Amino acid sequence: MKTFLRPYLLFSLLVGFALYAVYAQFGPRIVHPFTPYTFGFFFVLTLVLYRLMERLIRANPDNFLVAYFGAMIARLLLSLTLVLVYLLRGGGHEGSARWAFLGSFFLLYFLFAGFEVWSVLSNLRPFSKPGEITK
């Protein structure tokens, strides 16, 4: 977890700073006012899912694929739930703000999912043997 936590916190600080800079430059026209909450949602979700995946893999290393794909499906379903709650609670009637929300949501979704994939793959490298990887 320590090999994940430090780069994750650095990544999150960079993304948060970038969001703040874009909001300071363009305002709510580009960055939806709900974006900090979405950022917090993905920050906590990634931590929880990575910790859960780590515990499942530690219990049985053969369950890596089950744990990894389970975490991906959980991320997808919880994220879709967030979008549905936003849209059903009146977010769908805001006009152009809906597109700002969806744009920031998908940007954060792919950034955090991409970081998790990078982190998992970079942690797998020490376990692979030099002759096993084909070009």
Tens of pLDDT, residue by residue over 117-132, are 888 777 665 555 555 5
What is the pTM for the complete model shown?
Answer: 0.83
Phi-psi region of 90 (alpha: psi -120 to 50; beta: other; left: phi over 0): left
d(CA 35, CA 105): 7
* Average pLDDT per block of 10 residues along the chain, 135 residues long: 83 95 86 91 93 88 87 94 88 74 92 88 61 54
User: Are 42 and 109 a contacting pair, CB within 8 Å?
Assistant: yes
